[in-house]
Structure 1
Amino acid sequence: MPKLTPRKHQLTDHDFLKLSKTESNPRARIKLLMLHQLSLSHSLDSIAQTFGYHQQSISVIRKHYWLYGLDSIYDKPGRGRKSLLAEKDIEAFKQAIVEQQQQRGGGRLTAVDIARIAKEDFNTDYTPKGIYGLLSRIGISWVSARSRHPKADQQAMDDFKNFVNHVRTVLPEHIELSDVDIWFQDETRIGQQGSITRVWHYCGQRPRVVRQQQFESAYLFGAFCPSNGNSVGLVLPYVNKQAMQLHMQHISKEVPEGRHAVVVMDGALWHQADLNLHNVTMLKLPPYSPELNPSEQIWQYLKQHDLSNRCFDGYDAIVDAACVAWNRLRVQLELIRSITSRAWSIVC
């Protein structure tokens, strides 16, 4: 007579399908989907064919659920192949990779180079293919570097992140921090010599995109409030002091009654508008520090999603495209908040 498994938990105790939609662990999510089909009385054979598992494995998953409930869908610590790199050496290994990259003076490290570091400095043998899995597990990514101006002052940029003090120095005396909204302002050029970005295409082929050689362009002025996702934009033919004055006036109109806007911007020559606005104050970034202005990421998003890989007949076509792209962006309040929010820029 077969031995019966005690059932402390029933397949009807949970909505496994609903749980699977919010489960971030891929192995646990598959088990939840299997349990969902088991709860619908699907056969082990049909579930095995659906998920590519052996029937015995699905039977074990069901048995473990009966015994241990939802805790059973997660792998126990220590499961799986152990890393050749000792846990105590992980941080030193990561540091060695970064230092080797910096010491090259150009180019980039390859998987073969990193495998050599692992062998020579940590006495572990990895194939170049195995290195990629190791780097993913320990939190090392191959990311695009961004340029840094040789005159950039890292200490000044770090000091700027003591943001509340900088805001206090520019605020009128009668304004309280609790009444302040932070805005980030910048402008970008949109024109016939636009940018080319990645596109979906067939593997092994590189698509060709026409890039214009003419010089017609317009400028998109934008300001973004991370606290509520609001934005103010203008498309103008020039960047100058008058254009900046006009943009600041539009920002002023968007500031709610009883609030005061501190508008953070770089030190461009045209960022010298003669402000006579009761509810707007300018705050300048340290020199050569565009990474402190999240508007840069907004422009990157806007161009990648709407304005790259395009040809324009002339100025009117550029203005129309910029307006369409801006109007599509400005209604996505959560997206703007997500891109522009910085922990250091919160003042209250």
Structure 2
Amino acid sequence: MMAIEITRTDMSTSELRAAAARTKDAKAVRRILAIALVLEGADRKTAAEACGMDRQTLRDWVHRYNAEGITGLSNRYWAGPTPLLNSEQKAELARMVREGPDLEADGVVRWRCVDLKRKIEDRFGVVMHERTVGKQLAALGFRRLSVRPQHPKSDPLAQEAFKKNFAATVKAALPETAHGKPLEVWFQDEARVGQQGTLTRTWAECGTRPRAPRDTRYKWAYIFGAVCPSRATTAALVMPRADTSAMNAHLAEIAKTVASGAHAVLVMDGAGWHNSSALRIPDNITIVTLPPYAPELNPVENIWAYLRANCLAITVFDTYADIVDRCCSAWNAFANDPERVRSIATREYAKGVSA
């Protein structure tokens, strides 16, 4: 092995040690100190072992030092391969995914990796594997998610106006007797639970499609549920049908749960039994109706999704009594978890409303 020789003379050993003291890269510090030891007369083995490297490694770093000086003693990190898509192309891909495909132009109603592979090749002239398309989407922040249903007649502008003007709507709806009282915002809805139950996602081995029981009979019950997120309080009944008499019973149950001396604003949709002339509204409740086709504004819809996924799905009910018992158990498990009640039911647009 050839002898080591340092040909640079622009830095003395004291200057090298001073530079090592200022360097934050620990690996570069060891290399600088090894060079300083060699300049001070230490043999290659001693200098290498003192700085945690072998003799050949020290020889390689001496060559870098001779060629580039002290800056050559730092690691050089590979920048990696050239990205398949530049920033403008990635932005265009993200836009395409957000907007979704056009059935007539693209021939599909949802994007798959194979569809985007063809689109990327046609649009940008870049050929990549389907798995690579998936990695590109993941890097852009996209995931495969279950879509939420949206009624074709829903009006996003009306929903935004409802949220923005909620406080004013409540103030206009409150009777004179409610002014000056503590105000509670409640949300209400109903859900049908029965033998024709629902399925849900489960963990299973890759490549399999797990099976789960699902009944095909037609007995069911209705959960009438209401929640006050600020107090983490709920009021619910399980009823055999959804009609005005059931709604009257639920209103009476909510009225009993409202805090003493307070007034409740009950936010709910415009179902027929919610607007019936035979509805008996308690004195401590004022009803505020949601815009048409706007279930996303009602957090009780999210409660139904939670209960179905965690308590009511993948179940066969033999009798109506079984349905009622399971509905009661599911709602009570939810109602007895105040943090979950607040987490699911809190809505920003309903905060800070006062009489």
| TM-score, normalisation: structure 1 | 0.71
**1:217, 1:178 → 2: CA distance?**
40
- Which deviates the most, 264-273 or 107-116? 107-116
SS in structure 2 opposite 1:309? coil
1:92 to 1:177, Cα distance in 2 relative to 1, 3 A: farther
The correspondence for 1:197, drawn from 196, 200, 221, is 200
**1:177, 1:197 → 2: CA distance?**
46
**Which letter does structure 2 place at the counterpart of 1:242?**
S
What are the superposed Cα offsets for residues 8-32 of structure 1, whole Å, 9 maximum, x if unpaired?
99xxxxxxxxxxxxxxxxxxxxxxx
Give ranges in structure 2 of 5+ residues lacking alignment.
1-16, 25-52, 54-77
Query: Where does residue 96 of structure 1 map in the other structure?
Result: 96
Query: Where does residue 143 of structure 1 map in the other structure?
Result: 145
**Which letter does structure 2 place at the counterpart of 1:101?**
P
- Which deviates the most, 99-108 or 193-202? 99-108
**Which letter does structure 2 place at the counterpart of 1:171?**
L
1:294-309 alignment runs, 5 A limit: 294-309=299-314
Is residue 118 of structure 1 aligned with residue 123 of structure 2? no
What are the superposed Cα offsets for residues 121-167 of structure 1, whole Å, 9 maximum, x if unpaired?
34544432122222122222222223322322332222111221222
- 8 Å Cα contact 1:259/1:279 also seen in 2: yes
Is residue 321 of structure 1 aligned with residue 326 of structure 2? yes
Is residue 128 of structure 1 aligned with residue 130 of structure 2? yes
**1:147, 1:316 → 2: CA distance?**
31
* Displacement of 1:216: 1.3
1:206 to 1:96, Cα distance in 2 relative to 1, 3 A: closer
What are the superposed Cα offsets for residues 49-74 of structure 1, whole Å, 9 maximum, x if unpaired?
xxxxxxx9xxxxxxxxxxxxxxxxxx
**1:175, 1:129 → 2: CA distance?**
60
Aligned length: 280
**1:301, 1:110 → 2: CA distance?**
28
1:100 to 1:284, Cα distance in 2 relative to 1, 3 A: closer
**Which letter does structure 1 place at the counterpart of 2:150?**
R
Query: Where does residue 108 of structure 1 map in the other structure?
Result: 110
**2:265, 2:222 → 1: CA distance?**
23
SS in structure 2 opposite 1:212? coil
**Which letter does structure 1 place at the counterpart of 2:222?**
Y
Query: Where does residue 58 of structure 2 map in the other structure?
Result: none
- CA-based RMSD of the aligned residues comes to 3.1
- 8 Å Cα contact 2:181/2:261 also seen in 1: no
Is residue 152 of structure 1 aligned with residue 157 of structure 2? no
* Displacement of 1:188: 0.6
- Which deviates the most, 231-240 or 333-342? 333-342
SS in structure 1 opposite 2:185? strand
Query: Where does residue 279 of structure 2 map in the other structure?
Result: 274
* Displacement of 1:85: 3.0
Query: Where does residue 230 of structure 2 map in the other structure?
Result: 227
SS in structure 2 opposite 1:235? strand
* Displacement of 1:344: 2.0
**1:173, 1:321 → 2: CA distance?**
42
SS in structure 2 opposite 1:182? strand
* Displacement of 1:172: 1.8
Query: Where does residue 66 of structure 1 map in the other structure?
Result: none
**1:230, 1:80 → 2: CA distance?**
55
- 8 Å Cα contact 2:190/2:222 also seen in 1: yes
SS in structure 1 opposite 2:252? helix
- Which deviates the most, 199-208 or 183-192? 199-208
**1:120, 1:208 → 2: CA distance?**
40
SS in structure 2 opposite 1:183? strand
* Displacement of 1:260: 1.7
- 8 Å Cα contact 1:177/1:347 also seen in 2: no
* Displacement of 1:177: 8.5
What are the superposed Cα offsets for residues 230-264 of structure 1, whole Å, 9 maximum, x if unpaired?
11111111111111111111111111123221111
Larger radius of gyration: 2
Give ranges in structure 1 of 5+ residues lacking alignment.
10-55, 57-77
| TM-score, normalisation: structure 2 | 0.70
What are the superposed Cα offsets for residues 101-122 of structure 1, whole Å, 9 maximum, x if unpaired?
2545753211122233334334
Q: Percent identity?
A: 38
**1:296, 1:276 → 2: CA distance?**
23
**1:110, 1:146 → 2: CA distance?**
18
**1:89, 1:159 → 2: CA distance?**
36
1:124 to 1:207, Cα distance in 2 relative to 1, 3 A: closer
**Which letter does structure 1 place at the counterpart of 2:109?**
G
**Which letter does structure 2 place at the counterpart of 1:263?**
L
* Displacement of 1:79: 7.8
The correspondence for 1:248, drawn from 226, 246, 251, is 251
Query: Where does residue 345 of structure 1 map in the other structure?
Result: 350
**Which letter does structure 2 place at the counterpart of 1:91?**
A
What are the superposed Cα offsets for residues 210-247 of structure 1, whole Å, 9 maximum, x if unpaired?
32222111111101122232111111111111111111
Query: Where does residue 37 of structure 1 map in the other structure?
Result: none
